[in-house]
Amino acid sequence: MRGLSLAFGFLTRLPMPALADYRAEELARSAVWFPVVGMAIGLLLWAAAQVGLQVAGPHADAWLGAWLAVLAWMLVTGGLHLDGAADLADALGAAHRDPTRFQDALKDPHIGSFGVMALVGVVLTKLVAAHALLAADAGALWPWLLIPAWARASSVLWSQTLPTLAAGLGERFAWQVSGAATAAWMAALTLLNWTLVSPGFALAAWAAAGAWWGFLRLRLGGMSGDCLGAGIEHVECALLLVAVWVAA
């Protein structure tokens, strides 16, 4: 269970027990548990949304539930992947006329105007889509669980099938998680998406993961930790919108 504890400690801000004799490679191997962490995050989001719906009352709008869900999304993850989305947006903006600036901008800890636009875009998309999903099917559970799980499983797949742009966690995850384990998770989540939500949702999940893989391969030539984090955010946004379409 050390790997599961490390995965929760890395992907969330939930308190985890300290581990004795910790080795750095254990964190990379813990990526095999990322989908489980994603489901746990999704359960917390759904619970937050339900609290908002109950507080607002049966005849009120779903905005309170949506707001609490998105707020929980940011608090539970500590904005980890939002940071990647902002960093990548800033790097792409800086490299628009001078590609050599990409890596320097990606490593810059400060946030620029492109990063702010990316953050606002992601948060607003999640807020509006969460509201629409709750309005269409207030009690729906499975999309909330499966969207974060799929996005995090996809990040491991991207790390294993794309070259690295720079040394870092993205590189370490690529060689510390077995390809068979990743394939098994992707197959299991595909089956769950298909049976518990809809076939269209399962196909859209692969389309979203594949689209981000294609963007990283064709536009950047590889991946980094920030690219993986940004992909998690964008895949979650895309699948929330698809879930709204399925529920409508």
Task: Determine, yes or no, domain membership for 9.
Answer: no
**Domain, as residue range, for 228:** 32-247
Q: Are 44 and 193 in contact (CB under 8 A)?
A: no
Does residue 225 form part of some domain?
yes
Domain count along the chain: 1
Give the CA-trace dihedral at 32, 35, 38, 40, to 10 degrees: -90
- One-letter amino acid of 42: G
Instruction: State residue 215's pLDDT score.
Output: 97
The confidence score (pLDDT) of residue 108 equals 80
φ, ψ for residue 114, nearest 5 deg: -65, -40
Confidence band for 68, pLDDT divided at 50, 70 and 90: very high
Q: Is residue 18 part of a domain?
A: no
Structure confidence at residue 96 (pLDDT): 80
Q: How many CA atoms lie within 13 A of 86 on its CB side?
A: 17
Q: How far apart are CA 44 and CA 221, in angstroms?
A: 35
Query: pLDDT digits over 76-106, tens only?
Result: 999 999 999 999 999 999 888 777 788 888 8
Q: Is residue 227 part of a domain?
A: yes
Band (220; pLDDT cuts 50, 70, 90): very high
pLDDT tens per residue, range 15-55 = 988 777 777 777 778 889 999 999 999 999 999 999 999 99
Does residue 13 fall inside a structural domain? no
The answer to whether position 132 is within a domain reads: yes
Q: Quick one: pLDDT at residue 98?
A: 74
Token pair listed for 123 = 């948060």
- For the segment 195-217, the average pLDDT, to the nearest whole number, is 98
Residue 23 burial (CB count, 10 A): 10
7 domain-assigned: no
Residue 159 counted as domain residue: yes
Per-residue pLDDT averaged across 211-224, rounded? 95
Q: Which residue has the higher pLDDT, 143 or 19?
A: 143
Average pLDDT over residues 110-121: 94
Whole-structure pTM value:
0.94
Mean pLDDT for 147-154 is: 98
What is the DSSP secondary-structure string of 156-217? HHHHHHS-BSSSSHHHHHHHHS-HHHHHHHHHHHHHHIIIII-HHHHHHHHHHHHHHHHHII
| SS3 of residue 14 by DSSP | coil
The pLDDT of residue 39 is: 98
- Residue with the bigger pLDDT between 20 and 9: it is 9
Give per-residue pLDDT as tens, 153-202. 999 999 999 999 876 555 555 556 788 999 999 999 999 999 999 999 99
pLDDT at 97: 74
